[in-house]
Amino acid sequence: MKDRKRDYYYLKAKRENYRSRAAYKLAQLQNKFNFMFEGMKCVDLGAAPGGWLQVEKEIAGPSGTVIGIDLARIKELEGILTMKADVTDPSVVEKVLDAAGGKVDVVLSDMAPNISGNYDLDHERSAALVLAAFNVARRVLAGNGSFVAKLFEGRSEKEVFTTVASVFEDVRMSKPVASRKQSSETYVIATGFRE
């Protein structure tokens, strides 16, 4: 708690009315890779508490569609559709397509497992969440769409990268400045989805 009170991005989020410091991670990834755009249809998996949703809505603007999905209830945000659902449930795909009125341009995931303290186990759970998000993305993305997901670094990183790269033109790994230095998180940024 003491660290949090001194954390630059935590304090900045409080000042600027973002629901989490994670908003700055997404903003930094967007500044570097430019995968979101005005008018986009965007789905955020594991979206609670909603910091990423706020950034997505700012970029999508009034003509865009932003949908947030999480196991936890997401407190209402103006202009954003939220639903309580399990990303690993196959019915999520239909729910997304119905809510978006068809295929979407961007699928994002900042999902992380509950930390057990066992590094290898946490990494494997993180990799499984990325692949679950990827399975949704493959079914709901329009051609040339983008997929961005958080992954803990570890032995399955290459396998995740190869799986994602099988259907995207360009895949990169990047750690935003807003990520805590001691964190093992990195992000998979995939663009140019091949339907």
CA distance 179 to 63: 30
Joined tokens for residue 78: 């103006």
Residues with active-site annotation: 150
Which own/partner contact pairs does 81-85 have at CB distance under 8 Å and 24+ positions apart?
A: 82/47, 82/50, 82/53
The burial of 107, by beta-carbon neighbours within 10 Å (0-12 exposed, 13-18 middle, 19 or more buried), is given as buried
With 0-12 / 13-18 / 19 or more C-beta atoms within 10 angstroms meaning exposed / middle / buried, residue 113 is middle
Q: How far apart are CA 147 and CA 42, in angstroms?
A: 10
DSSP output for 50-114:
-HHHHHHHHHH-TTSEEEEEESSPPPP-TT-EEEE--TTSTHHHHHHHHHHTS-EEEEEE---PP
